[in-house]
A and B are shown apart, each in its own frame.
Chain A
């Protein structure tokens, strides 16, 4: 249960945890939605750092490109187009305390399940030294025995979402 000696990746883990959870708290607490989007971007950047620590560099790059690049800009535009940050009466609805209670209880339950070996096997698990690379990932996406069908379905879903978003948001004339 002890992290042991402070290695560089332990420092990196602490830093990214700070970014991720701090950004998430910023999203949850902030009154101004533009600042909320900035906090969301901070949080997503921390998650990209986690992907680097977990030796998934492709996912980290995609996280920065898709989330910070595209989704962050999308949220910024939505906030600006709806003027959501100027006419806010109240940040929270009337059940915010109940939500906080439920969220805290859910976190305690998850934390309990994570640290207590309910289903046996309390041995410390170490990550394998060999790790699949981005090349393996790319091959798996076009391999007929692996993920070529989900890959095509995902592209179809993105096309449908693109067309649907344009149709929904368009001014009807």
Chain B
């Protein structure tokens, strides 16, 4: 059996790579990809903690909170990707650019 700290380390590494992508890339599409990586790193942690935790409630039912949480994260990530990419396409239509530095209309 794989010890849990390996899963957590992979999750941490993935989260940090995603964070680096978000902070350093110029293109908005690449930034969204980094956000997806971060959300998935969180999902790995959630499912790992669920797997290594208690599986049965005192009443005899199954504990499913980690999986349910991960599924909802997945739903929100899908919604975020759809809306985010729609915004990117709308921005591209107006600015002819997908680089986040070019879109500075609201910058003070």
Contacts and interface: CB of A to CB of B under 8 A. Distances in A.
Question: A and B, one complex?
Answer: yes
Contact of B56 (A44, A102, A130, A168): A130
A59 B75 CA distance: 11
Contacts of B75: 154, 157-158
Interface in A60-92: 62-63, 66-67, 70-71, 74-75, 77-79, 81-82, 84, 87-92
B48 A54 contact: yes
Interface size class of A (residues with CB under 8 A): 35 or more
Contacts of B106: none
B58 to A, nearest CB: 14
A128 B54 contact: yes
Nearest to A105: B16
B38 to A, nearest CB: 10
A168 B75 CA distance: 20
B29 to A, nearest CB: 5
A110 B78 contact: no
Interface in A27-60: 27-28, 33, 36-37, 40, 43-44, 47, 50-51, 53-56, 58-59
Contacts, number: 243
A126 B54 CA distance: 11
Q: Is the interface of A mostly helix, strand, loop or mixed?
A: helix
A127 B1 contact: yes
Contacts of A126: 1, 52
A74 B50 CA distance: 30
A168 B25 CA distance: 24
Given A28-B21, A124-B3, A128-B55, A133 B62 contact: yes
Interface of B: 1-10, 12-21, 23-30, 32-34, 36-37, 40, 43-44, 47-48, 50-52, 54-56, 61-64, 67-68, 70-72, 74-83, 85-90, 92-93, 97-99, 101
29 contacts: A3-B6, A9-B1, A13-B2, A24-B17, A28-B20, A33-B29, A40-B36, A56-B47, A56-B51, A59-B70, A70-B78, A77-B85, A81-B92, A82-B88, A82-B98, A84-B29, A89-B26, A92-B24, A100-B24, A114-B9, A115-B5, A115-B9, A136-B64, A140-B62, A147-B68, A154-B76, A168-B83, A168-B86, A169-B89
3 tightest A-B CB contacts, nearest first: A161-B79, A99-B23, A132-B62
Given A54-B7, A107-B15, 19 more contacts: A27-B30, A28-B25, A37-B33, A58-B67, A67-B74, A87-B97, A88-B27, A93-B25, A103-B17, A124-B3, A125-B3, A127-B51, A133-B62, A146-B68, A150-B72, A157-B76, A164-B83, A164-B86, A168-B86
